[in-house]
Amino acid sequence: MKRNGNVKRMLCLLLACTLALGMCVTVFGAVARATTMRLAATSGPRVTLRTLNGSARSITKNMRLYNGNVIETGSGSYAYISLDSSKAVKLDANAKVQVRQDGRKLKLLVKKGKLFFNVNVPLKTGESMDVQTSTMVTGVRGTCGVIEAAGNDTASVYLLEGALEINWKNPKTGEVEPVALKSGQKLTLTKNAQTVPAVTVLAPAEVPAFAAEEVAKDTALQQKITEMGGPDVQKIIETVQPTQPQPPVQPEKPEQPTKPEQPTQPEQPSKPDQPTQPTDPTQPTDPTKPEQPEKIEMPKWDFSSSDLALIDLDTVIAAGKDVKQEIEQAWNTKKTVYIKGGSTGTTNQINIDTLNINDGKVLVLDSVTITGKEWTIDNNAALYIDQSASLQLTGSIKVNEKGVVYNFSMLKADKLEGKGKVLLGGFGKFVETSKQSAGSGA
């Protein structure tokens, strides 16, 4: 009997060890397969990270992200998020994204701005990664594209390669309806749309600049986009690295002033059409070919100056003031008007149909999208479009002989007229919408 008791005790001990070992293996397996997101890197001075309760966290390279973390980028700043050590997501300037995690299920909630995703990491069984805005949710795996949250009721998806199924909630029935999207297509969804949104062709010029930059430096991604029938990769790259304009020919010209028999021709060495002189607004150029100088920079604006009016749309709207009235008042009293966009769709998009910038006036657009019809820049006036802003006109923009446009971002118009200067810096590009429409219909 005593011997039998010892045997039983030994069997119980072995069983307990086996169960404990089994539990250890199970736990280890779950940790090894869990999806981990990290803030791989940041670019620019205006990147913040906060916890679920709103506390600010110090940012270090490759730091782990946890449920509820909110990442926000300011003007000229970007953030990169990695998924299991593979760079997967890039946040554009002026974006705000929250990380949601429930075990191995990940979600990026885009509260505002644009997010570029290139998820080629094979997710394991039970793992998922979704991107959500106020109007839709989609799972991303083996796909590449951009998702933009433009305010609380509009979102757009630009798909470069792969296929997505967008879950759109029908406001009439309350049911969630899938909308299929494939390489080279674009979809815009609004909260109160009454019918299933229409899918359109994604033009290379529509690929946001911060995403085009990632495509330009990733040859493997370029090949995938081409193979999947996405937009023209070369045209996307050209928006970041424009075709080389004049420089190859210009080195030969300086030889001419060395001829001793032509000392009375001072115009030879000065070359007024050199793109290294972006600040001279007096020299006419061909308006259909914006100049691409070697380097132009946004001035450091003195906001304490009595000649400058800063219109912060968040502040104006929070105070219950009329945006256009504030702009008009500043325009009548100040030499420089600086319009800074806000944090929501209602405060970073405005419409100004017609505007005549003249008599040395300066207009600066920062973090705002302005739509309109006909604009004129004339008589020693200047327009600055910051890299986080855009001007989109349904009519023409007239840059007359003594006007200058410093475009670091996107300028769209039906036509570009006049003999003034349009200087491109950063990711600046001009899109003539009439030609674009003609091209897409051909």
Average of per-residue pLDDT across 69-76: 93
How many Cα neighbours within 13 Å face the side chain of 151? Answer: 15
Distance of CA 260 to the CA centre of its chain: 53
**428 pLDDT more than 90:** no
Question: Residue 221, SS3?
Answer: helix
Pick the range with the lowest mean pLDDT from 247-256, 338-347, 408-417, 418-427: 247-256
CB atoms within 10 A of CB 213: 20
Average of per-residue pLDDT across 392-417: 92
Tens-place pLDDT, residues 245-303: 444 444 444 545 545 545 545 445 444 444 444 444 444 455 556 876 657 888 888 88
Query: Which residue, among 399, 393, 429, has the nearest Cα to 414 in the 3D structure?
Result: 393
- Residues of the chain with pLDDT > 90, as a percent, come to 36
Average of per-residue pLDDT across 348-361: 88
Q: Would you give the DSSP letter of residue 56?
A: B
Tens-place pLDDT, residues 205-243: 999 999 999 999 888 899 999 998 999 999 999 888 654
In this prediction, residue 184 carries a pLDDT of 94
Average of per-residue pLDDT across 16-38: 44
**360 pLDDT more than 60:** yes
Average of per-residue pLDDT across 41-55: 90
Which amino acid belongs to residue 423? L
In this prediction, residue 159 carries a pLDDT of 95
**5 pLDDT more than 50:** yes
Q: How would you list the strands of the sheet with 382-385, edge to edge?
A: 308-312, 336-340, 362-366, 382-385, 404-407, 421-424
Helix (H) or strand (E) holding 372: strand 369-372
**244 pLDDT more than 50:** no
Tens-place pLDDT, residues 332-346: 889 999 998 876 656
Tens-place pLDDT, residues 81-118: 988 766 689 999 999 999 998 888 889 999 999 999 99
C-alpha–C-alpha distance, residues 375 and 420, integer Å? 13
At 151, give phi and psi (nearest 5°): 85, -165
Tens-place pLDDT, residues 112-131: 999 999 987 667 777 788 89
In this prediction, residue 34 carries a pLDDT of 47
Query: Which residue, among 122, 131, 161, has the nearest Cα to 145 in the 3D structure?
Result: 161
CB atoms within 10 A of CB 94: 25
Q: Mean pLDDT, the chain, as a whole number?
A: 79
In this prediction, residue 15 carries a pLDDT of 47
Task: Please give, one letter per residue, the 3-state secondary structure of 255-311.
Answer: HHHHCCCCCCCCHHHHCCCCCCCCCCCCCCCCCCCCECCCCCCCCCCCCCCCCEEEE
Evaluated on CA atoms 431, 433, 436, 438, the torsion sign reads negative
In this prediction, residue 397 carries a pLDDT of 95
Which amino acid belongs to residue 383? L
In this prediction, residue 24 carries a pLDDT of 34
Which residue shows structure tokens 């090894």? Answer: 32
In this prediction, residue 240 carries a pLDDT of 82
In this prediction, residue 85 carries a pLDDT of 64
DSSP 311-376: EEHHHHHHTT--HHHHHHHHHHH-SEEEEE--SSTTTSEEE--EEEE-TT-EEEEES-EEEESEEE
At 404, give phi and psi (nearest 5°): -140, 140
Domains of the chain, with CATH numbers?
36-240 (2.60.120.1440), 281-441 (no CATH)
Q: What burial class does residue 254 get, using C-beta atoms within 10 Å of its C-beta: 0-12 exposed, 13-18 middle, 19+ buried?
A: exposed
Strands 404-407 and 421-424 come out as parallel
Q: How confident is the model at residue 77 (pLDDT cuts 50, 70, 90)?
A: very high
In this prediction, residue 7 carries a pLDDT of 53
C-alpha–C-alpha distance, residues 157 and 114, integer Å? 10
Query: Which residue, among 139, 185, 183, 141, has the nearest Cα to 161 in the 3D structure?
Result: 183
In terms of average pLDDT, the best of 62-76, 142-156, 333-347, 422-436 is 62-76
Query: Which residue, among 424, 387, 343, 390, has the nearest Cα to 210 in the 3D structure?
Result: 387
Helix (H) or strand (E) holding 209: helix 209-216
